[in-house]
Structure 1
Amino acid sequence: MCLGIPMRILEGDDISALCQRGAEQRRVSMLLLGAQPIGAQVLVHIDTAVRVLEADEAALIDQALDGLAAAMRGEDFDSAFADLIDREPQLPEHLR
């Protein structure tokens, strides 16, 4: 399974950008999106930025990834999915 991860742009141009998530930095391709402003959040899949993210969406993805890591360590992970507790699953708007 492959996952896209949210990363913040530190510097870049139309071709590539140096991005960061936590302590990890990597250079990613910007060919699908073009240049983005410093500080923008992008979804990175296989070292390619595939979509610009809003800050709240990037935070939810980060929480889910942190929850997955906690579950793999055998730790409590409910707090990472607080937005899903006590509600029925919903399809994204574009699939309704």
Structure 2
Amino acid sequence: MCIGMPMQVLRIEPGHALCQGRGEQRRVNTALVDELQVGDWLLVFLNDARECISAQRAHEVNAALDMVQHAMAGNYDTAAQDDALGFHLPSHMNLQDLHALTGDKQ
């Protein structure tokens, strides 16, 4: 399984960008995304940028990755993590929030 990492563009080069995210810097192939500017956020899979994302979406993905990292380390407290990160996992949402998340009009 390949997991996308949000990375922020630090410098642009022809066909590539130097990006930073989750504590590391990488030279990322940008052939699959539109024109970039320094400060843009990318979702990166195996050193290839697959899409440009908003800063909000980068925060959400990073928060989800943090939850996975905590769970793998065995120190995940669902309620505390949900409150600290500002959103809830679907398994902890009420029915109305689940409908909103999925776009269901019920």
What 5-or-longer segments of structure 2 have no aligned partner? Answer: none
Point out 4+ residue stretches in structure 1 off by more than 3 angstroms: 89-93
SS in 2 for 1:26: strand
Matched AA of 1:17: A
1:13–1:56 distance in 2 versus 1, CA, 3 Å: same
Deviates more, 1:12-21 or 1:57-66: 12-21
> How many pairs are equivalent?
93
Structure with the greater alpha carbon radius of gyration: 2
TM-score under structure 2 length normalisation? 0.76
Shift of 1:33: 1.2
Shift of 1:55: 1.0
* 8 A Cα contact 1:14 1:34, kept in partner: no
SS in 2 for 1:66: helix
Shift of 1:67: 0.5
SS in 1 for 2:10: strand
1:92–1:68 distance in 2 versus 1, CA, 3 Å: farther
Q: Tell me the equivalent position of 1:91.
A: 102
CA distance in 1, matches of 2:61, 2:103: 14
Shift of 1:65: 0.2
CA distance in 1, matches of 2:38, 2:66: 24
Q: Compare the two structures and name the one with the higher helix fraction.
A: 2
TM-score under structure 1 length normalisation? 0.83
1:7–1:92 distance in 2 versus 1, CA, 3 Å: farther
Shift of 1:34: 4.0
Q: Tell me the equivalent position of 1:9.
A: 9
Kindly report which structure 2 residues correspond to 1:75-90, keeping only aligned pairs within 5 A, or say none.
Answer: 75-78=75-78, 79-80=81-82, 82-84=87-89, 85-87=92-94, 88=98, 90=101
Q: Tell me the equivalent position of 2:53.
A: 53
State the percentage of identical aligned residues.
31
CA distance in 2, matches of 1:34, 1:14: 12
What 5-or-longer segments of structure 1 have no aligned partner? Answer: none
